[in-house]
A and B are shown apart, each in its own frame.
Chain A
Amino acid sequence: MENLNIKINGMNVVAPKGSTILEAAKIANIDIPTLCYMKDINAIGACRICMVEVKGARSLVSSCVYPIFEGMEIFTNTPKVLDSRKKTLELILSTHDRKCLSCVRSGSCELQTLCHDLKVEDEGIYDGENEKYDIDFSATHMYRDNNKCILCRRCSAVCEKVQGIGVIGANERGFKTHISSAFEQGLGDTSCVSCGQCIAVCPTGALSEKDNTDEVFKALADSSKYVIVQTAPAVRAALGEAFGYPIGTNVEGKMAAALRRLGFKQVFDTDFAADLTIMEEATEFLDRVKNGGKLPLITSCSPGWIKYCEHYFPDMTENLSSCKSPMQMFGATAKTYFAEKMGIDPKDMVVVAVMPCTAKKFEIGRDDENAAGTADVDISITTRELARMVERAGINFKDLPNEEFDAPLGISTGAAVIFGVTGGVMEAALRTAVETLTGEELKNLDFNDVRGLAGIKEATYNVAGMDIKVAVASGLNNAKELLTKVKNGEADYHFIEIMGCPGGCINGGGQPQQPASVRNFTDIREARAKALYDQDAGMTVRKSHENEAIKALYKDYFGTPGSHKAHEILHTSYVKRGLYK
């Protein structure tokens, strides 16, 4: 790659051609503050926090979008630059609801950090007239508080460009500009899929999941309730970030310990249900292949993806696997099999799910998700909410011992833990399907073609004389591209895995937020994915069909995968929503 020679603050710096000033400065170990910019998501030069001086330029330039050129001389810390950044912040603050003390993002707010770093002294210096916005509580999974919005537009960019949805954007103009849906509809009335990517990228407290932790605390304190918890695979790969661990630290053991100390009767694992999902879904797949069922079969683990399919590709809902998501399978199994086993009335059981996902809050209220006559899962909280619960309960997370999940619904395999990353479900399914079809043991369990962070991955496997064509997509804009090909007859896959969030659940909308200053230079997905693949590699049982607890579950309760009873409890149905329902 061609390099350019530039000067930053008088120092010689060599940076690749095509770099922005921001990127070149990073090479020189200078952090330029940013607010609207987020790598691969938003590069619009709108907030003007990242301004720097360039010799010969008419005015200051925005370093996040300005490419370097040979011989360029940049000054990042002159009084003019520092004063400009401060004024920009002060102007933003003049329109910002500064209730920092009670804000959910206090401590993780990028605006707050910048105010500290850039030495804002008088937050009210430019106070004046302000628009007052009603908080939009209409969506099931989140609320939008425009009073805290700084109009960086990361949310609308991720919604439109990464997820291909675009249900939020700028309305009105000038000082009245605000983020909203078309015709000021509530988010809950739009075809928002609840993925929560907007929350994950929001620098302030303008966007947040609806917090359900009070309900959890209340249930835990209710002696008439039997409260159990399950945690999704991706949670363990990111929860640690909330307690200062490096990105990609697997904190499964401390998480189990923390949950136990919060008072859950049983600390179970969604991974168990992931193995169960593989049993059902692999069976469904083989059945569709053998009996001429609807193909391609598309996975149904991701509720954001399911809602997307219902809104945007309603004529493809028959392609969806009828399997409930692992979270719902877990709840259904807990309230039937486990409740019977323990002699507990399912109505007295409260199933709490800890998820990297906001769409799960929507999913638990779906129809046809109540195997025991009561909701399969009662409360779904995000990884962030769990972190808040741990903090609030005064549990010293870092000093906790590593503990195990409880049996039997806490027993799982390596195939289950990789559900948390794009391609993982496909790989887990292939491990089981190939062995089932060939009757032989797989020598190499790693299906590398479906691993990695590419938006769309394709592979063909010859299994027992048959070519099985598979595809994996994560991020809904990629899903859109893939499905359009399928719809237009340009692709003839047998099996497709789709995850709503880019990179899969590890990058879910409910995971701890990482600020732009981190995300601009680190792919958080890579580190989190590695944590899960490492865990899988280190396990002795790595195939779902070899999970002893699963085997026992079928033997004692469901009979065989795909049995009538399994269908009643573990499978669901979908709605053709269309765009405006």
Chain B
Amino acid sequence: MYRSHVLVCGGTGCTSSGSHQIVEALQKEIDKNGLTNEVQVVKTGCFGLCALGPIMIVYPEGSFYSMVKPEDIPEIVSEHLLKGRIVSRLLYNETVTENGIKSLNETNFYKKQHRVALRNCGVINPENIEEYIGTDGYAALGKVLTEMSPDDVIKCILDSGLRGRGGGGFPTGRKWQLAKDLVKGGQKYVCCNADEGDPGAFMDRSVLEGDPHVVLEAMAIAGYAIGASQGYIYVRAEYPIAVQRLEIAIKQAREYGLLGNNIFGTDFSFDIGLRLGAGAFVCGEETALMTSIEGNRGEPRPRPPFPAEQGLFKKPTILNNVETYANIPQIILKGADWFASMGTEKSKGTKVFALGGKINNTGLVEVPMGTTLREVIEEIGGGIPNGKKFKAAQTGGPSGGCIPAEHFDIHIDYDNLISIGSMMGSGGLIVMDEDTCMVDMAKFFLEFTVDESCGKCTPCRVGTKRMLEILEKITNGNGTLEDLDKLEKLCYYIKENALCALGQTAPNPVLSMMHFFKDEYIAHIVDKKCPAGVCKSLLSFEIIADKCKGCTLCARVCPAGAISGEVKNPHTIDKSKCVKCGACMEKCRFGAIVKK
């Protein structure tokens, strides 16, 4: 028995900010202080508050240290772990109150969160199956195999109202039912889509890194439900920690008899293989993913036939996303009603969002469906930095759309998002402030889809490229109103004609931004101005002579030699030389330089 546990985040975010060195330093310092048998260091999955990494929590006190550096470790060990004195200067400031410290769960970031899919992330050691079992792990599989028929399992998932968390929101139970019933018997497959690719989304990675067994358990349950004996997890090779932990988890599950033949002594056998994707976004599309597992170039294929009838290797297959699976064991254990009690009428349960962009608390949050965008951004996310104004939030990544300020109080669920031209997507939530140009933003997402198009169908391969060229023309100040019309027509054409969901949804960001921010597009085209001051071709920098003191600083920082003037006399900018980098404006102490 240890008297104290130190949980250090070993997720990708904290690992890249150096949590690995923290663990090493901690262990060394603990050994040095003779605490080896009293204090245990545990490397966990992600806590969610990635902006503050590396993160550690010391139990039983629950002290939450953020942005820990290796040189802080001797102090934490000698003060906190040895003498019991919390190092308050390193605590997450939100947890520090006048009366001492408050629990992490009471901080704004965690208060409104409800962790179902992420419940074990940051809590257990993902590399130890016993810790998972210790938190009811594999109990759901046991229950399913010994007490429930496949139809019972499917009914439970149907009743729970769980919908696919990968983007489309198709009812999970219905998917399983089709795979069970369309083709009776024979070889079937259960696949897990861990090819998370939306820019800024990393909820699936966190589940795999922090709680890999939940996915294995859920896939085995799905296998039992549809009559499959083999599963594949398609995970991107760019997630090395997730891959490594999955490998460990699969090995351990096999050793414990939780994967393999005759699980729990029943007739049910199920095993799982890992397949690494090379990082093509399109391989997150179900038919492309299966084509890739089959060993071919990852390209979508036409549907029908749908995977429930002819999927992987032309056999009935279900494919669910990591986060979807992460909900399954708890639905089985706590019941469909429990799950259905969370969320809105048609969107049950919780949803994990990856907060990114112009927001203070970048990281992962899990909230009940129906939480408002305002709550997520202002309360949980801590608002927008530097007192800037909220302009819009992008959900659904390159397939979604934006939610402008007028819809700030929207209750986030599948149908509400669709109704305003966006979509849930996998849960990336990118916040944009007043300094964001919506033409530039549309260009950003389109650049992504153009880059990630597989090139199979004409509308996506050529159409998105031509759309991007029109947007470039507009941001360069050469756009015409006819271009805008052409762009819009291409958008609707691609939505109707592309082969797969990647292509069909590629125009969404453009359409939604054009819908809500048409004025900005018009300003670029007619006035040749970028209202947010982002599009360089449309900008010009000028020195207000009255305010310029002639300090010469601007002239010295200008990389292009575009600024000239006598000392103590107003300077001027030669616009033909100016590269619009903004360095002068940033340096000017008198506010004499303006961007137009």
Contact = CB atoms under 8 A, between A and B. Distances in A.
A176 B459 CA distance: 14
A172 B455 contact: yes
Nearest to A47: B458
Interface in B266-315: 280, 282, 297, 299, 301-302, 304
Contact of A48 (B280, B452, B490, B499): B499
Nearest to B470: A128
B562 to A, nearest CB: 30
Contacts of B299: 170
Contacts of A49: 458
B457 A47 contact: yes
Interface residues of A, number: 34
13 contacts: A46-B456, A48-B457, A48-B459, A48-B498, A59-B496, A62-B499, A67-B304, A92-B458, A151-B456, A173-B280, A173-B452, A177-B455, A177-B461
A65 B306 CA distance: 13
Interface in B447-464: 450-459, 461-463
Nearest to A173: B455
Given A65-B302, A66-B302, A91-B459, 4 more contacts: A45-B457, A60-B496, A91-B458, A173-B452
B198 interface: no
B475 interface: no
Given A126-B462, A173-B280, A46 B499 contact: yes
B462 A175 contact: yes
A88 B499 CA distance: 12
B508 interface: no
B496 A46 contact: no
Interface residues of B, number: 32
A151 B462 CA distance: 11
A256 to B, nearest CB: 45
A169 interface: yes
Given A170-B297, A173-B280, A177-B455, A128 B497 contact: no
B455 A176 contact: yes
Contacts of B466: 91, 94, 126, 128
B308 to A, nearest CB: 15
B504 interface: yes
Interface of B: 280, 282, 297, 299, 301-302, 304, 450-459, 461-463, 465-466, 469, 489-490, 493, 495-499, 504
B501 to A, nearest CB: 10
Given A47-B457, A84-B493, A84-B496, A175 B450 contact: yes
A84 B280 CA distance: 28
A45 B459 CA distance: 12
A177 B460 CA distance: 12
4 nearest CB pairs, A to B: A177-B455, A45-B302, A174-B453, A91-B462
A129 B465 contact: yes
B455 A84 contact: no
Given A84-B493, A169-B297, A44 B462 contact: no
A509 B283 CA distance: 35
A60 B497 contact: yes
A45 B493 contact: no
A414 B152 CA distance: 71
Contacts of B461: 151, 174-175, 177
Interface string A28-56: 00000000000000001111110100000
B454 A66 contact: no
Interface in A117-140: 126, 128-129
Contacts of A94: 462, 466
A49 B282 CA distance: 22
A59 B280 CA distance: 25
